[in-house]
Structure 1
């Protein structure tokens, strides 16, 4: 599950193979057939003990966004359609314990980690599958607004997908593989779910190997910043973090991108947020020999403020898969942490001035599951919300559960044990 030890293209190829394997898995029957025969009292009692649907089991890490007083967490699920979600109130109430089927189409089921963003009126959820990248809108009341829209049709798109929205359009990012390169693509879609076919949609240079794109919206400059991990001819193990700005009208502002971090070793799995004054970019960085969490501040014009990077967590063990959300004067960075030998979710607050408030990090997950990994984070309603996966062990193709917890500005975890966002058997 964890991408930290893989090269950019190897990790993406693994994700595609995983998606192909999962697409072939069969969903269990939702209810037993009775063929019109009446059940005996004993059989009726036993049937009443069975849940009406199989317990939702995830196959990827979750993604989360906030809008209209609710968090929407989405994940890749073993049930029909492959993409499900649930809404959570600010008080921690899980509104959809059975999950909402997000992919209501009859095409290929979603695979890998979906992405979600809020545009002011609707959540936009996007996902990869064996035939390309699809998406759909979801109202804050949980209604899925069809039809599903096709962003790109290809068997060469790779996870992860990313999405960020202005009030008018959303930008969706993904990786496309060619014969000798992988490049970062974007597609725009209107607030009404209409896909815009821009003439040029390539953000990274080629021939080259790039991947792991993430995107955020800058409401001050009316543009998006896309960040990704990029080999730039140096080979696997030497990936750097690059970025490119995209105007709301689809204009690419920085050619084939600009460097954000070119430190020695590999910089992987970046994420980005706009703070109202500048961008905060975070990534997993092995310049010290094992993966740590680093970050940098980037001005709205693309100038990198911290060219050497900001060390956010350099604890023992591997720290990978960072995600970031911002409010007021601080960002909350969360990540997958193995300082104790098992996967846990840790976090740290980073100020607008680049100062790390929690240099040793603090535990967000509390060990409710033996392994807790692949987090995401969003801000809304006066607090941060972190969603993550939890499992008995991390093994190939093993389904797991989705958990969540609220975290306030004082780094206090408000839900222990964590909120179960998917049911257990």
Structure 2
């Protein structure tokens, strides 16, 4: 053998036919491992082959949830190259597939990747230099049953018209891709974005977010769009990076200029929001090195954060989340329906001058920035080196994915590990204040909850006309969601089929019809009895001269609103409204609605920061 690089430690064994087989260590740069050469009895080399290569090394796990389980996507590298693999996992960390399945083989030369849940299926987006359509960003859908779809070219990565894949986020049926492009210059890295629909058709052109030298970042959905954050430098050779952010609207317009941290050095930020597309705010978390040169030696490192409103305005200054001995880096976070759960790489157990070794820690953080687990708790702090992965939430249960080095046979490499955490203790899902019927600007059934509701639908509330013994169709309503920083979260079933007929009504939200993000349902019917009576401006159930006084006041002062006489909700008090009150004056109702029935306290799921399994490793 005389291959490139070098070969060592030959061992000979007879073949039984007068020939020999030679095993040796092959240090070829592309295919290191153990090889064999077969020599015939006539001393002729008749064959060579690889016998054993190192076990694949798994790294860089990314998680997406369908609300019940997760899809973990990760890189699996061998001497032959890197493949992109996927594995379905339940919230307890148990693999649902016997073996991981391939998203992109090494022949495609996959690069950066992300995974999201969009329109009822998982979507894995990744760059591939040698994909079916060349150097592109591709998408592959994966059904919740684990069946991957075809390669779909989404966008070129060519400078001037495309960009490399940085991060991906979903808001409703919209998908945003964000990344950097050199635009043909080695000294340039500009941040770009583009928005697509759920079928990967572009709905905006490529648009530029900044003009500095952009590095990497993260993006999360909020009400009306996304909050994106990334690190940037003034020039390619500037020594320090700032963390900046922008609010990107669903139509591609955006507002930039926000700086979360400008000094000293800052690591790649992660963004987490408090409710997906209904989120009222987001939190940007990032590593800050107070000593950018030697943070480990001088213990000058911390994870800090800033709260950002859904409109892109800063809601807080800099918040310190974690500041322990040693280095804390690479934060990632998820919203579990009640609070944020963040995880990071931690070196507190191996401070300088000890050799660095990474562990994985986590902490719960309230939406207002209060750290509920000061200092954090260990997810993985064994003698093994553990590297950073991701954190996800499904049905209120949190799962961590990271990589742990397995030195024992047959591995000798980093392997993917998942670990579940019980949902944290929280107040039960409950109704706040008295559910009621709004009549001032429109007609809507209103219910306020202490937490956001998952998967709300117009058919969840049943509205019965007790006067005619009929049920109003769900299609006659739309849903308005009024989110809150903490509580309450207001949900309104608004009538949109004209004006509701006069009469007595009962609206019912049946027990179990809705759940919070932790899967906790309502356990009792929520019943709202109300009347609709055009002309009853003061809502006392009687049409009298007080009501005429209200409409006269509204008419003379150009006011609007039901209490000012706008009984047909057309935005003006006019003679049509006088006609309605005259008609109502001569047809007084014969009964009053019964009292509103409030549900009792709803039992919630309890539990602390505990783990569901013992750190189960997947194949």
TM above 0.5: yes
**Separation in structure 1 between the aligned mates of residue 233 and residue 200 of structure 2, nearest angstrom:** 34
Question: What is the CA distance between 1:316 and its match in structure 2?
Answer: 2.9
Matches of residues 56-135 of structure 1 in structure 2 within 5 Å? Answer: 56-60=108-112, 62-79=113-130, 82-96=136-150, 98-103=151-156, 107=160, 110-111=163-164, 114-130=166-182, 131-135=189-193
TM normalised by structure 2 equals 0.47
Distance verdict in 2 for CA 1:177–1:360, change over 3 Å: farther
* C-alpha contact 1:87 1:142 (8 A) present in aligned 2: no
Q: Give the structure 2 partner of residue 244 of structure 1.
A: 306
Distance verdict in 2 for CA 1:335–1:3, change over 3 Å: closer
**Separation in structure 2 between the aligned mates of residue 141 and residue 99 of structure 1, nearest angstrom:** 10
* C-alpha contact 1:315 1:360 (8 A) present in aligned 2: no
Question: What is the CA distance between 1:278 and its match in structure 2?
Answer: 0.5
User: 5+ residue gaps in structure 1?
Assistant: 5-53, 367-425
Give deviations 1:356-387, integer Å, cap 9, x for gaps.
325641113x1xxxxxxxxxxxxxxxxxxxxx
Question: What is the CA distance between 1:218 and its match in structure 2?
Answer: 1.1
* C-alpha contact 2:59 2:415 (8 A) present in aligned 1: no
Distance verdict in 2 for CA 1:221–1:169, change over 3 Å: closer
Of 314, 319, 327, the residue aligned with 1:266 is: 327
User: 5+ residue gaps in structure 2?
Assistant: 1-56, 61-105, 183-188, 351-356, 425-607
Of 324, 329, 335, the residue aligned with 2:391 is: 324
CA RMSD after TM alignment:
2.7
Of 344, 353, 377, the residue aligned with 1:310 is: 377
Question: What is the CA distance between 1:250 and its match in structure 2?
Answer: 1.2
Matched, 1:347 2:347: no
Question: What is the CA distance between 1:342 and its match in structure 2?
Answer: 0.6
Question: What is the CA distance between 1:207 and its match in structure 2?
Answer: 2.7
Give deviations 1:184-226, integer Å, cap 9, x for gaps.
11122111122x234x41101x331001211122137600111
Question: What is the CA distance between 1:102 and its match in structure 2?
Answer: 3.1
Q: Larger Rg: 1 or 2?
A: 2
Of 251, 255, 259, the residue aligned with 1:202 is: 259
**Separation in structure 1 between the aligned mates of residue 279 and residue 143 of structure 2, nearest angstrom:** 31
* C-alpha contact 1:215 1:224 (8 A) present in aligned 2: yes
**Separation in structure 1 between the aligned mates of residue 194 and residue 333 of structure 2, nearest angstrom:** 23
Distance verdict in 2 for CA 1:163–1:99, change over 3 Å: same
Q: State how many pairs are aligned.
A: 308
Question: What is the CA distance between 1:227 and its match in structure 2?
Answer: 0.8
**Separation in structure 2 between the aligned mates of residue 91 and residue 277 of structure 1, nearest angstrom:** 28
* C-alpha contact 1:167 1:191 (8 A) present in aligned 2: no
* C-alpha contact 1:268 1:284 (8 A) present in aligned 2: yes
* C-alpha contact 1:336 1:346 (8 A) present in aligned 2: yes
Q: Give the structure 1 partner of residue 76 of structure 2.
A: none
Matched, 1:143 2:227: no
Q: Answer 1 or 2: higher relative contact order, Cα 8 Å, separation at least 6.
A: 1
Distance verdict in 2 for CA 1:284–1:2, change over 3 Å: farther
Matched, 1:153 2:215: no
**Separation in structure 2 between the aligned mates of residue 119 and residue 321 of structure 1, nearest angstrom:** 26
Moved more, 335-344 or 276-285: 335-344
**Separation in structure 2 between the aligned mates of residue 147 and residue 202 of structure 1, nearest angstrom:** 26
Distance verdict in 2 for CA 1:143–1:82, change over 3 Å: same
**Separation in structure 2 between the aligned mates of residue 81 and residue 171 of structure 1, nearest angstrom:** 28
* C-alpha contact 1:56 1:99 (8 A) present in aligned 2: no
**Separation in structure 1 between the aligned mates of residue 284 and residue 326 of structure 2, nearest angstrom:** 22
**Separation in structure 1 between the aligned mates of residue 405 and residue 59 of structure 2, nearest angstrom:** 13
**Separation in structure 2 between the aligned mates of residue 360 and residue 335 of structure 1, nearest angstrom:** 14
